Every structure is written in C-alpha cells, then in structure tokens.
Amino acid sequence: MARRLPVFDNHIHLRAEYKGVEAAKLFEKAGGTAIMLTHTPYDEIPIGHGSDYDRAYRKTLAMADAVRSATSLQVFVALAPYPVECMHLKEVVGLEGAVAAMKQGIDLAARYVAQGKAVAIGETGRPHFPVGPELQRACNEVMEYTMAAAKRLGCAVILHTEDPTPETFAEFAAMAERAGLDKNRVVKHHSTPLTRPEDNRGLVPSILAKEELLVEALKGGPRFMLETDYIDDPRRPGAVLGPATVPRKTKAWIERGVLTEDQAWVIHKEMPERTYRIRVE
C-alpha cells in the first residue's frame, strides 16, 4: 500500500472575524492535513501590559479548537508576543517596561506549552525592518530569554526576524548555544532558502511555498519546512500566500518532477515531527 503523504503548513494565521475556519477548509480541500497555527496580534486586544497576552492567546487557542471541530485537520499551536509589538510597548511603558512585558508574554506562552495546548513558542524575535540599536538589543534579549524557556520546556522556538543571511543564522545559533537549546529546535520563519548546514548553522529554515525558493532550497537537501504565512487580514486578502497554496503547489511540484515524493515526505512529515516532537498524519 502506498503511503499517504501528509501536507503541513508550518506558519499560518487565522482570524475568527475574517476567513478563519473557511480558510482552513480551503487548505483541507486542497489536500492539506496539518497546520502550525501561529499567534498573531489582534486589533481588538491591545497590549499595554504583559498580562494582556493571556486574553490574546486564548483567542488563538479558541481558533484552533474551532478548526478542529469543523475539519479533520491536525492543528498545532505556537504562541508568543509578536516582535513588532515591542515598538508600541516602548511608547507606552518605556523600553525596560516593554522588555518586561514581552518576557511576561513568553512566560504565559510557556505555561500553555507546559499544559500541552501549544507545541512551540513563536513567532518571537525582532522586527523584520531596521530599528535602532537599543531596540535591537532589547529584542535580542527577549529572543534569548525565549530560547532559555524553550530549553527548560523541551519545545521549539519559531523566529520572526529580518530575512536571514549566513551571518544572522550564525548569530541565532550562538544565542541557542548560550541558552543550551538544540539548534534543530530553532525554526527561522519566512527564511531565505539557505539549507546547507554551513549556511544555516543547524537551524531549521521555514520557506514560503514559491517554486523559485523551493528549487534553491532543495540544492541543500530537503531539511526545511514550507509555509504560506497567510495573515487572514481583509486589508491584504491572500497575503502572504493563500491558505491552499502549500497543498496545491506540493501536488503540482510532485506531478511535474520538481519535487520527489521522498523529499516531500521529509519536508511535510519528518521535519515537523523532528522539530516539534509531534506526530503528523
């Protein structure tokens, strides 16, 4: 009997007030089987203090339950303060207060991981655009704090940062080493297709499901995951990629010989299972 290929989207955001469950149904209809539902900021839940994150996390967890109830998908959850929120918090409570609030948000996310309601802390890190050195240092402090928490919990971390180069991968690898966190458990979301170990220093790239990125990534082997980074925002419909993209393109790439079934098995099953210590079906 031929094995059934799971199809895993490693980074997707869903909002109950927009597509939400319907987007998940589109993913399932196209052949998707599992998602990493990643926490996102909510306009209706402004963050002014670290304790505000709990209400926001509960909204993401409720979204996960809604998708499970309406589909047959496996829904895994990642929770963390969105890095860009540090800029807003800095204006409200100062930079030191912002760091404290973000760390409290990490602690709250860690509690849900410990309870088995989430499998990773993410997305965490620093803004994806240039910021001043003080804010950069503050975000790096929070990133290392997150890695230390992940080490204690035995879970993975999903990083949101600028597009990585070999130098930034080396920077993040050094952070993981200081925290004692296995680099195989550090995922670089929205990664450049740097899949050779000498380029990514053992971290796990998660790459947008675009053919030119896939082809480049496969030159270093299939040690990466695929994502849409669908943001489920009515102001940017279909951004970054639509919810059906990963299963639809995976099927097309296999049919055209761009991707082998063995490579797809590694990307969609072996890598998520090894990284998050989950079972993907």
Structure-token pair, residue 159: 């990083």
% pLDDT > 70, the chain: 99
Return the number of other C-beta atoms located less than 10 Å from residue 108's C-beta: 19
- Confidence (pLDDT) at 249: 98
- Is residue 165 within 8 Å of 192, Cβ to Cβ? yes
Tell me if the pTM is above 0.95.
yes
Phi then psi for residue 230, to 5 deg, are: -60, 125
- Confidence (pLDDT) at 254: 98
- Confidence (pLDDT) at 1: 40
Distance separating alpha carbons of residues 75 and 25, to the nearest angstrom = 12
- Confidence (pLDDT) at 2: 57
Structure-token pair, residue 206: 């998660």
Q: Output DSSP code: residue 268.
A: I
Q: What is the mean pLDDT of each run of 10 residues along the chain (281 residues)?
A: 85 97 98 98 93 97 98 98 95 96 98 98 96 96 98 98 98 98 98 98 98 98 98 94 98 98 98 98 94
Write out pLDDT tens, residues 105-122: 999 999 999 999 999 999
Query: Taking Cα atoms as reference points, which of 145, 169, 15 lies closest to residue 80?
Result: 145
- Confidence (pLDDT) at 221: 98
Structure-token pair, residue 157: 């971390």
Q: Name 275's Cβ contacts closer than 8 Å, sequence gap at least 6.
A: 156, 184, 185, 187, 204, 225
- What domains sit in the chain, N to C, each tagged with a CATH number? 8-276 (3.20.20.140)
Q: Output DSSP code: residue 230.
A: B
- Confidence (pLDDT) at 168: 97
DSSP-derived pairing of the beta strands 74-79 and 225-227: unpaired
- Is residue 117 within 8 Å of 61, Cβ to Cβ? yes
Q: Name 5's Cβ contacts closer than 8 Å, sequence gap at least 6.
A: 250, 261, 264, 265, 268, 269
Phi then psi for residue 280, to 5 deg, are: -105, 125
- Confidence (pLDDT) at 140: 98
